[in-house]
Amino acid sequence: MIKFYYSGAPNPMKVALFLEEAGLPYEAMPVDTRKGDQHKPEFLAINPNAKVPAIVDGDAIVFDSNAILLYLGEKTGKFMPPKGDKARGELLSWLMFVASGVGPFSGQSVHFRNYAPEKIEYAINRYMYETQRHYAIIDSRLAKQKYMLGDTYTIVDMALWGWARLIPAALGENFWPKFPNLKRLIDEISARPAAARAIAIKDKHKFKTEFDDEARKAMFRHQTEKVA
Ligand SMILES: N[C@@H](CCC(=O)N[C@@H](CS)C(=O)NCC(=O)O)C(=O)O
């Protein structure tokens, strides 16, 4: 059975959505990143990058949310676009666009808006600018088609859902009306029973909720180690 190392954060939730949508049997393995579980040797042996999600599937170890989606999509044949070079090209392009653009910029935007000890206007503006620029590209694509790859709900939509449902944290409450087509897709996915089950996984485990010094030390290690 697949072991799914996770927390309730956006990247693990993409994988939780796939596992629930596909009906794959899995064992949820909590990694409490606010307590520093991600730095324990037993987890580093699975993901040397000390982040969730990761999966162990027999002798295969896969980390990084979008890599896991691709691995599971290829393994099961589910939530993948129709076969063919054109569809494969689109799949890889948009999956990497979400992996290298939407995710990191949204994450940094959330960080500088909500967690950085000082409000640095330059950083906030840069990350908000890039985040909304990425979502605007997606929104105009979704004005012309139902899902990211056309008529079929795929792993790219799941990857997008992980971060886009947190647009209020990354950009602010007043940004949703700027992306009506993206909102339509995220609302549709969030209304799926599998999404509700994915979000509820974390209720089976006791995760730390306070964001205190211990959490800051575990998740923002740059605050205690100067490299510049
Ligand atoms: N590129 C990775 C990023 C993973 C990542 O940043 N995970 C966050 C949760 S969304 C995490 O583990 N944070 C804990 C930490 O940074 O210590 C992916 O897509 O899986």
**What is the per-residue pLDDT for 208?**
96
Query: pLDDT tens, 89-101?
Result: 999 999 999 999 9
Cβ(70)–Cβ(58) under 8 Å? no
**What is the per-residue pLDDT for 194?**
98
pTM score above 0.85: yes
CA angle (176, 157, 173) in 5-degree steps: 15
Query: Which residue has the CA at smallest separation from atom 18 of ligand 1?
Result: 64
Mean pLDDT for 91-113 is 97
Mutational pocket test of ligand 1: of 47, 51, 63, 221, the residue with most ligand atoms within 8 Å of the beta carbon = 51
Mean pLDDT for 67-93 is 96
CB of 11 closer than 6 angstroms to any ligand 1 atom: yes
* Distance from the alpha carbon of residue 42 to the mean position of ligand 1, in angstroms: 17
Average pLDDT of the chain, as a whole number: 97
Question: What is the arrangement of strands in the sheet containing 2-6, beginning at the earlier edge strand?
Answer: 26-30, 2-6, 54-57, 60-63
Which pLDDT band holds residue 145 (cuts at 50, 70, 90)? very high
Which pLDDT band holds residue 158 (cuts at 50, 70, 90)? very high
d(CA 106, CA 128): 8
Q: Provide the token pair at 102.
A: 């939407």
Query: pLDDT tens, 20-57?
Result: 999 999 999 999 999 999 999 999 999 999 999 999 99
Give percent helix, percent strand, percent coil of the chain, each to the nearest 5: 60, 10, 30
